[in-house]
Chain A
Amino acid sequence: MRLLAEFLEGLRIALAAIRANTLRSALTTLGIVIGVVTVTLMATAIQGLNRAFMESVSSIGADVLYVQRRDWIIRSHEEWMKMRMRRPFDLTQADTIMARVDFAQAMAPGDDHRASVEYEDKSAGDVRVFGTTAEFARVANLVLNEGRFLTTAESSGGRPVCVIGASVATNLFEARSALGERLRLNGKGYEVVGVLDKVGSPLGGPSLDNQVIIPLPNFILDFDRTPDITLQVKVSSLVSLDDAREELRSIVRQVRRVQPSDPDDFSINQQDQIVTMFRKVAGTIAGVGLFITGLSLFVGGIGIMNIMFVSVTERTREIGIRKAIGARRRTILMQFLTEAAALCLLGGLMALAIAWPLTFAMREFIPASLSPLVVGLALAVSALTGIVAGFLPAWRAARLDPVEALRSE
């Protein structure tokens, strides 16, 4: 009860003091404003990047193992040279592996190529042409906007049909239906049997919407006679991903005839490798951001500390009066801590007002928005800076000798 009353009195005095020195207060909080704007933008950007990344990762699937010639993440030139020497995967190997795997929900071999796609007098350049089988729809959880995916007969029989991504469809057909139309790929005609839902490319990487999926035999025939196959294995939810990975590894070693003493001459990739790497990068960004933020908050905090010392000196007599009529050390300490925190909180609010429109600009690049969590964080950081920076001046005020304080001018 008493603590609350003392706190309210402190707050009242703090606001009156800030109002009495509006310009000085505003200038002092500038450092805090800059610091908190940095905190807010940094946290929002990191959240946005995370979301963008997780969206793109989950659109591919976290339970899929990719058997292929090279690692996704190559750490050194030496490693890259080694992987370049590896034998490619051919279709026979992929088929043999698939025949032996019994822990998969779905499996699909595939290979891709960059090409331009033409329709009548229009053309779309640099499209990803992906040759695969009917089961790919289940591996990648594809959702059709219209039409259907490749049938088993098509993926083994070689009828020239294709399923196109959302942006290919809009680029070539605009609002019209693409179904039944014939595209030209590498000069060969392909009939459109399905159009995929838009999935986007939040990371700005190769868009999954900018692709054309065709049967693997047609791909080999028209694009690459010696394909380097990637086999995607979607692991059944009944087995652990790690067990599946180990079993898959031994199967691939047998099929590729790797001697027991030799290391793997292939890679099994999975999403969490990218996730781990991303986490590392995001961690670094966050660390650098934290450092910059900490620096500007530190500078801002020094400003607050300075002005609080001035405030205490100016109000020495007031402190003496309060002590004479019964304010304890705690009371005075709290009063000045409240003032410092209130000053910084005002800075924090100003910072949020500045940062908010900036997050809209950020939205051009990443799916960022100012979340309640970040707002809370920004205000907490502001108040904390105030309390830390205000402590020394407040402590000095609390310890003033009442007789001395009353004598001061």
Chain B
Amino acid sequence: MSAPLIHLESISRRYQMGGETIHALREVSLRINRGEYVAIMGPSGSGKSTLMNLIGCLDTPTSGRYFLNGTDVSHMDDNRLAEVRNREIGFVFQTFNLLPRSSALHNVELPLIYAGLSAEQRRGIALQAIRDVGLEDRMHHKPNELSGGQRQRVAVARALVNKPSILLADEPTGNLDSKTGEEIMALFENLSRRGNTIILVTHEEDIARHARRILRIRDGLIASDESREPLHETAG
């Protein structure tokens, strides 16, 4: 089997708070392959976000090594990490995190600007991405003119526009009602079926059930790692 997409080797992340050391992650080792759909679960404060930030290259470990696509990214500097995030990672946040003064289209275009694409190239790709989430008739709207579900769709389009290796979602349905949440999960389902690697953090069992693998974290350690049949098997 080829090298895993994500390979964590005894990763620890510690924070200093006053005189105290907080062990957010304790020697976590983990492999995730291309195309997997993984849910990370655990009680509040167990280290889920810390793990997501490390996988997403927003943060670097205190000790241990992280190979992304075979490259050691655990000691890269700020600028190199920014490039890795731009190329390899698409983020979807609980609070959407769209730029408030920019249109939906421009929000989706932004990663392409940082990737150095020309204006003409960007337009076409961004338009396609926004079509893929079914929002072409809303693309000139500002985020505050969109519903929560629409905002999260824009965020998904932005996350995918650079064709990243991983889609990272931290509580993507946390700010949505259950119906809209299900719509976003259906979108993820679809993306997973088309071969995207998805890692999502959630504390809702209903949401986690969409994934094919569930990691449970407790006190900075992986407590369980189970693979399972997904909830929505193509019925028929």
Point out residues on A near B: beta carbons under 8 Å.
Answer: 1-2, 5-6, 9, 13, 16-17, 20, 317-318, 320-331, 399, 402-403, 406
Contact = CB atoms under 8 A, between A and B. Distances in A.
Contact of B97 (A13, A321, A328, A399): A321
Nearest to B118: A1
B83 A317 contact: no
A2 B116 contact: yes
A5 B86 CA distance: 15
Contacts of B53: 403
Q: How large is the interface on B (under 10, 10 to 19, 20 to 34, 35 or more residues)?
A: 20 to 34
Interface stretch (B65-73, B106-114, B180-188): B106-114
B93 A406 contact: yes
24 contacts: A1-B116, A2-B114, A2-B115, A5-B116, A5-B117, A6-B113, A16-B101, A17-B101, A317-B97, A321-B99, A322-B99, A322-B110, A323-B82, A323-B85, A324-B56, A324-B97, A326-B82, A326-B85, A326-B86, A327-B114, A329-B79, A330-B79, A331-B114, A406-B97
Nearest to A407: B49
A326 B56 CA distance: 11
A399 B79 CA distance: 10
B111 A326 contact: yes
A330 B79 CA distance: 8
Contacts of B116: 1-2, 5
B91 interface: yes
B58 to A, nearest CB: 5
B115 A328 contact: no
Contacts of B91: 324-325
B14 to A, nearest CB: 14
B158 interface: yes
A18 to B, nearest CB: 11
Contact of A326 (B59, B99, B114): B114
B82 A327 contact: yes
B58 A403 contact: yes
Interface in B89-138: 91, 93, 97-101, 110-111, 113-119
A387 to B, nearest CB: 21
B121 to A, nearest CB: 10
A321 B87 CA distance: 15
Contacts of B204: none
Contacts of A320: 97
B145 interface: no
B59 A325 contact: no
A9 B93 CA distance: 23
Nearest to B117: A5
Interface string B145-161: 00000000000001000
Contacts of A20: 101
A327 B99 CA distance: 14
Given A402-B58, A406-B97, A325 B78 contact: no
A326 B158 CA distance: 12
Contacts of B82: 323, 326-329
